[in-house]
Amino acid sequence: MKSVEKNIEKESRLIWNFFMSMIYLALVSVILAFGYVALGDDIQALLNQKTITAEDIRNYKPQSNEGGEEVDYNKVVDGIHVYTGLKADPNLQVIIGSCTSCHSAKLITQNKATRAGWKSMILWMQATQGLQDLGNREPIILDYLAKYYAPENMGRRKNIDIAAIEWFILDQKEENK
Amino acid sequence: MKSNKNSRRKFIRSTALSSFAALIGMPVVFGSNLPKELPPIGLLDGTLPPDLIGKSKLMTVLNDRPINAETAAHLLDDDLTPNNLFFVRNNGIPPADVDVKNWTLTIEGESAQQKKTYSINDLKTKFQQHTLNLTLECGGNGRSEFNPPAKGNQWSTGAVGCAAWTGVKLADVLKDVGVKSNAVYIGYYGEDTHLSGDPTKDPISRGVPIAKAMEAESMIAWSMNGNDIPVLNGYPLRLVLGGFPASCSGKWLSKIVIRDKVHDGQKMTGTAYRVPCKPVAPGEKIKDEDMCIIEGMPVKSLITFPKTGAMIKKAEKLGIRGHAWTSAEKITKVEYSIDFGENWLTCDLKEAKNRYEWQRFEAQISFPQIGYYEVWARATDSDNRRQPIILPGWNPKGYLNNASHRIAIKVL
């Protein structure tokens, strides 16, 4: 009798354990599934991170993405040509064609100068960097640069750009070393 | 949007494009339909975006061809700047196929007793090794504040960092070669290539007076903070000459020339890294021959904690900290002001481990009432030079801005 009871007990324990492990398994799967939905891309990105070797740099070639969505190369948002970051203008293609084949558009967007100042940069590029004569494109380029990338009067020192500040509550108990 | 998940994945795999996206700070969708034969702007010459070669995405990229990137003040809070946050000022394209084992450094020139070539292993075994904490700052750091504006990379405050450099003393190597008594200058050459791809052009080849080269803190380094130097910062070998504009500390170093005259390499002549010999009015035209080579960098400081924009409660004291550095012997005082320069209070200041290491300053600030404040910091060095509050002397190329750093604070 005792051994039968023991067997039943053993079996029911087995069934119980099996039942519980199934529940755990289901739970874990659900958590993993949710985790993947939420973090899948980040995990993928993390896995794809690797140390860059000289070999990688040598073999590096810019790639294009096949498929994907339609993208408007001429897209303009808030007056900015998205692809280059330059200010949109009817003559923008002249600027892109003349300037960005040799240097980054950032060299334009981060600088400010008068028409004469931009002219001196063109002369400098012609004297030292092998820039060809720009012909009838030069006045178009200079008009564009002087219009959109003109110096602002900053005085001897500008105020802190308060509009650009991201205000945050400083928790010094957390932050202090 | 339905294919988003997949196309996003594809994107993350496509390192080139996701880096491009990080560079221009836009959603990756814009990159997905670029013409196949046309690489993204900024990658045309094969230069790599910083996240591909050991740099943090938190860095601010000023220019992507060549790569120039700076570090926000609050990210420079570490005693020693981490390698992935150390600013990048490149003039050309870093060498791609670095073979460390066969990398050599040749010393020659009119004032060298002989021509001699060393492998990196020779340097490591023939000379005593040293580790020094040295600050490097770009001569144009702070350029964005000059008025009239100067052309070039518009650095704000982040073209500076301090790291533990391991290598040998430049003087030990020069002495091993033999320096003639008529030596005036050294010049360096690196293995980076000119943006135009023209192999006959050097992107940059600068140098320093022989006395500076012989200083105890002038190093040839192969290690930065205990690791390889990042590719963008000169891997596998570079000069580190604290106190002078960082452009003097040649990267991807392969040759040093000992000259019997001022070195005349690329960016030594004309107006590059030069300021008017005599003070000028803002916007004044200056002849090339009236421009003098920058040597020692000015006294300067940076508030690295808290980040600008911090808000605290009136009952709290605000702990600030930062770094101060100079080309003089040492920093002797750092002060702060919370009333736009009317009153200045002294900060606690730590000593440097060695000359040209930046020095930590700290202070606890009490604010008199709620409101908007700016915390300004100014350092004084052992030559009694002190940082100005407004811009220092205007110069056409926008160098040497050491005006006080300012952060905005609100007390609630």
Residues of B with Cβ-Cβ distance to A156 under 8 angstroms = 147, 390-391
Interface test with B, best of A104, A124, A167 (most B CBs within 10 A): A104
Average pLDDT over residues A47-68: 44
Query: What is the band of A10 on the pLDDT scale with cuts at 50, 70, 90?
Result: confident
> Is A135 a residue whose pLDDT tops 80?
yes
Could you give the ipTM of this predicted complex? 0.82
Residues of B with Cβ-Cβ distance to A103 under 8 angstroms = 65, 195
Position A14 in a domain: yes
Percent of chain A with pLDDT over 90: 35
Residues of A with Cβ-Cβ distance to B231 under 8 angstroms = 52, 54, 57
Specify whether A81 is located in the same domain as A133.
Answer: yes
Fold classified for B300-411: Immunoglobulin-like (2.60.40)
Query: Residue A133: which CATH number?
Result: 1.10.760
Position A177 in a domain: no
Residues of A with Cβ-Cβ distance to B91 under 8 angstroms = none
**Secondary structure class of A116 (helix, strand, coil):** helix
Cβ pair B405, B325 in contact under 8 A: no
List chain B domain ranges.
1-41, 100-293, 300-411
B40 reaches A (C-beta below 8 A) = yes
Q: Residue A65: which residues within 8 A CB-CB, separation 6 or more?
A: B7, B10, B11, B14, B17, B31, B32, B33, B34
Position A70 in a domain: no
Specify whether A35 is located in the same domain as A91.
Answer: no
- pLDDT of B307: 97
The H or E element that residue A143 is part of is helix A137-148
CA of B52, closest CA in chain A: separation in Å? 7
- pLDDT of A41: 57
Instruction: Report the CATH superfamily, name and number, of domain B100-293.
Output: Oxidoreductase, molybdopterin-binding domain (3.90.420.10)
DSSP B323-370: EEE-SSS-EEEEEEESSTTS--EEPEEPPPSSTTS-EEEEEEE--SSS
Specify whether A81 is located in the same domain as A36.
Answer: no
Higher pLDDT, residue B113 or A48: B113
B36 reaches A (C-beta below 8 A) = yes
List B residues 327-366 in contact with A (Cβ-Cβ < 8 A): none
What average pLDDT does the structure give for chain A?
79
Q: For chain B, percent helix, then strand, then coil, each to nearest 5? A: 15, 30, 50
Backbone angles phi, psi at A112, to 5 degrees: -140, 140
Name which of A45-49, A122-126, B284-288 the model is least confident about.
A45-49
Q: Do B53 and A57 touch (CB under 8 A)?
A: yes
Name which of A13-22, A103-112, B76-85 the model is least confident about.
A13-22
Position A111 in a domain: yes
Sequential pLDDT tens for chain B (412 residues):
333 433 333 333 333 334 433 443 333 233 333 333 333 334 434 444 555 578 888 888 888 778 899 999 999 999 999 999 999 999 998 998 899 999 999 999 999 999 999 999 999 999 999 999 999 999 999 999 999 999 889 999 999 999 999 999 999 999 999 999 999 999 999 999 988 788 888 999 999 999 999 999 999 999 999 999 999 999 999 999 999 999 999 999 999 999 999 999 999 998 999 999 999 999 999 999 999 999 999 999 999 999 999 999 999 999 999 999 999 999 999 999 999 999 999 999 999 999 999 999 999 999 999 999 999 999 999 999 999 999 999 999 999 999 999 999 999 9
Specify whether A83 is located in the same domain as A149.
Answer: yes
CA of B322, closest CA in chain A: separation in Å? 13
Position A176 in a domain: no
Give how many domains chain A has, as a whole number. Answer: 2
Specify whether A80 is located in the same domain as A149.
Answer: yes
Specify whether A133 is located in the same domain as A89.
Answer: yes
B100-293 and B300-411 in the same fold: no
- pLDDT of B32: 38
List B residues 382-411 in contact with A (Cβ-Cβ < 8 A): 389-391, 403, 406-408, 410
Cβ pair A98, A108 in contact under 8 A: no
Minimum Cα–Cα distance from B6: chain A residue: A68
Q: Scan for tokens 């013409």, then name that residue.
A: B35
B318 reaches A (C-beta below 8 A) = yes
Average pLDDT over residues A27-34: 78
Specify whether A89 is located in the same domain as A35.
Answer: no
Residues B403 and B395: their CA atoms lie apart, in Å, by 14
Paired tokens of B286: 């200056």
Q: What are the strands, taking DSSP E only, across B90-143?
A: 104-108, 116-119, 129-137
Range of the domain at A36: 2-48
Cβ pair B192, B265 in contact under 8 A: no
- DSSP alpha helix (H) spans, A49-136: 54-59, 92-99, 106-109, 115-128
Looking at the DSSP bridge assignments, the partners of residue A55 are none
Length of chain B counted residue by residue? 412
Specify whether A87 is located in the same domain as A43.
Answer: no
DSSP B190-259: ES-B-TT--TT--S---EEEHHHHTSTTEEEEEEETTEEPPGGGTTT-EEEETTS-GGGS-SSEEEEEEE
Position A84 in a domain: yes
Nearest Cβ partner of A65 from B10, B305, B389? B10
Nearest Cβ partner of B13 from A48, A82, A121? A48
- pLDDT of A59: 45
